[in-house]
Structure 1
Amino acid sequence: MSGRAELVQELKLLRKGRGLLGKVDDRLGPVLRSACAVSDEDGMVAVRRKVTSRLTELAGHLPEDLRVVVLAAFAIGAEARQPLYQERVKWAAEKLDRDPRTVRRRADQAIDLLAELAVGTAALTQPTGDRWHTTSLTVALVLDQPRPTVLEQRRIIADEDGLRSVDLAVSLPSGRSDLAVTVLYGGRLVDRGMEASDRWGYRLELPGPLASGEPWDLAMLFQLPSVSSLRPHMASVPRQPCDQFDLRIRFGADRPSEICVLDGAFQRDVSDPGYRGRRLPVDQAGEVHRQFSHLTPGMAYGMRWERP
């Protein structure tokens, strides 16, 4: 699918006039068609149903006020079926007890977030070479040693016969050369190089092919040169569905008083100082523990903290 900027423009075009109650097919761009799995064979009813379903699904990941704004902007739901966008904005303003100008700003913000979420979860609807998912991911980050250490243990399930490798990636603050990587068990490491300026990709080639439904366990050990080389967060942004994620961080004596939980956050929220998530205290041993369930691909789950 194309980029977020194109999708933002197409969504803003779609919300004009009657929104989804109007002639949707005439105002549906190629990126939005792809995001909603609309085909050339679909009639008007099918197109409207697919777009409504996808936007409603994505809006479900937004805060309540932005979700209301999205439903109003696109005329989704019986209460928000006014024929003009301005009338739907007025309806949302009354429902949220906000000024219409505030609602218009939030509509732009909501559309931007919808596009980001749609791009982040594109792997759910597009075929890839990796037909597998994670049933459990356990990560322990130890910061009170000379070198910060991350132990990652993962159980995957093959979703097709003949799975021979697993492609993964890790974000790095200063390049691959600073990272020591050890496979503890589960396969042979293949370096796929830097996928982006701060993301290193790698492949684990399995000892043999897996049958559909067959589980496999693997474990990796990552070491960084110093605590200062690590960004003050630890998060998982899964590409494939993940059932369970268990995260432990050991700060030791030099610990923050509390951490901020990232639970289905947008990727840019991981480092955004304005993000407000649930706060969790660090215990007297300098440790913190959090479990996450049913992770959505493309969204961030984990913890962030302020440096002492």
Structure 2
Amino acid sequence: MGEALRTVTGTHGVDQAVEVRRKVAECLWRWAGELPDDLRIAVRAAFALDQSDQLPLYKDRVRLVAQRLNRDERTARRRIDEGIERLAEVARSGAPLTDAGPAEPVPGWHTEELRVTLALDQQPPEAFEFRRIVADHDRIEHVDMAITLTAPFVANGPARTEDLEIDVFHGGRLTTRAMESTDRYGFRLVLPKPLRRHESHQIGLRFRIRADRTMAPHYVCVPKHRCAEFDLRVRFDPERPPERIWRLVNAFQRDVDDPQPRGDGVPLDAACEIHTAFHELTPGLAYGIRWHPPSGTGGS
């Protein structure tokens, strides 16, 4: 064990081996409880934390994970590796800060799951956002968020607060709205009660743009801080489907509007919809889709 693991698990050089195993196992079990179901199953079996899973050989535990997740063994190993990385993040979030402190201010919470449904088969377009956040510190009383409406400036002119409607379905009270830039809307939600550290909370929102505003042909999530899962569904107009759709992963924000799109193509299903998901998003990079509008729409 290295010094970092000793620190976060509370073990000391004078502890006997059996006491070290007990403390480490208790920490791993607790940290694994904060992971998504598949990763929790993977790491608890891989480390033989459950009495019923204490198979002596690692390859047998990998096979056990594969059976429980209904996946092949190669996929099971990947899920175990992902789970171990996430365990390290959870452990680090509970460790004391170094003297240097964090490189930049953190909001005190992160997004564990973000689910968005974008309806483009109606006017005006609407986006439904359901977000599960987790508090990284005690007494998180509000969350600050932002959404950007990217579109040609010549078509819309400068954005105004009334160009975007924000409805709160559940999870808080909208108290502050302000323009953070020419096209980015910042807003604050006061939570129903202060969150304790590691406590999760669900938020449901609807965004609707003014009917006469032009919307750029893309929808992406660019997290400022950690976002573990992003699930995106988009419904297009069946009578005017896009000519092509691209999936954006780890993209620089400038690439979202690049004249030469890059990325994997995404097919429409029979309902003229697409569904795609992203795991462990890198802060500052874009994840989502862009599309080539049908001819004669002016790129909106």
TM-score by length of 2: 0.59
Could you tell me whether the CA contact under 8 Å between 2:163 and 2:213 is conserved in 1? no
Tell me, in whole angstroms, the C-alpha distance in 1 between the residues paired with 2:176 and 2:160.
13
State the partner residue of 2:266. 280
Q: Which has the higher helix share?
A: 1
- Equivalent of 1:162, from 139, 144, 163? 139
The answer to whether 1:171 aligns with 2:148 is: yes
Cα shift readout 1:193-247 (whole Å, capped 9, x = no counterpart): 1111110101111111111000000011011233862110000001111111000
2:292 partner SS = coil
Cα shift readout 1:52-73 (whole Å, capped 9, x = no counterpart): xxxxxxxxxxxxxxxxxxxxxx
State the partner residue of 1:292. 278
Higher alpha-carbon deviation: 214-223 or 224-233:
224-233
State the partner residue of 2:191. 206
Could you tell me whether the CA contact under 8 Å between 2:246 and 2:261 is conserved in 1? no
Give the letter for the 1:175 counterpart: R
Flag structure 2 segments of 5+ consecutive residues without an equivalent: 1-100, 151-158, 295-300
- Equivalent of 2:248, from 256, 262, 281? 262
Tell me, in whole angstroms, the C-alpha distance in 2 between the residues paired with 1:193 and 1:131.
21
Cα shift readout 1:25-74 (whole Å, capped 9, x = no counterpart): xxxxxxxxxxxxxxxxxxxxxxxxxxxxxxxxxxxxxxxxxxxxxxxxxx
Could you tell me whether the CA contact under 8 Å between 1:134 and 1:243 is conserved in 2? yes
1:212 partner SS = coil
Give the letter for the 1:209 counterpart: P
Tell me, in whole angstroms, the C-alpha distance in 2 between the residues paired with 1:285 and 1:196.
36
State the partner residue of 1:139. 116
State the partner residue of 1:181. 166
Q: How many residues align?
A: 185
Counterparts in 2 of 1:110-121, with a 5 A limit?
A: none
2:180 partner SS = strand
State the partner residue of 2:125. 148
- Equivalent of 1:304, from 269, 290, 295? 290
Give the letter for the 1:295 counterpart: L
Q: Tell me the CA shift for residue 300 of structure 1.
A: 0.3
State the partner residue of 1:220. 205
Tell me, in whole angstroms, the C-alpha distance in 1 between the residues paired with 2:201 and 2:232.
20
Tell me, in whole angstroms, the C-alpha distance in 2 between the residues paired with 1:176 and 1:282.
33
Q: Tell me the CA shift for residue 125 of structure 1.
A: 4.6
Q: Tell me the CA shift for residue 181 of structure 1.
A: 1.1
Aligned Cα root-mean-square deviation (Å): 1.7
Tell me, in whole angstroms, the C-alpha distance in 1 between the residues paired with 2:160 and 2:225.
24
Give the letter for the 2:229 counterpart: Q
Cα shift readout 1:248-297 (whole Å, capped 9, x = no counterpart): 00002111143111111011111112241111111221101100000011
1:229 partner SS = coil
Could you tell me whether the CA contact under 8 Å between 2:243 and 2:292 is conserved in 1? no
1:305 partner SS = strand
1:270 partner SS = helix
Tell me, in whole angstroms, the C-alpha distance in 2 between the residues paired with 1:282 and 1:207.
39
Percentage of matched positions with identical amino acids: 44
* CA gap 1:244/1:153 in 2 versus in 1, 3 angstroms: same
The answer to whether 1:130 aligns with 2:116 is: no
* CA gap 1:305/1:242 in 2 versus in 1, 3 angstroms: same
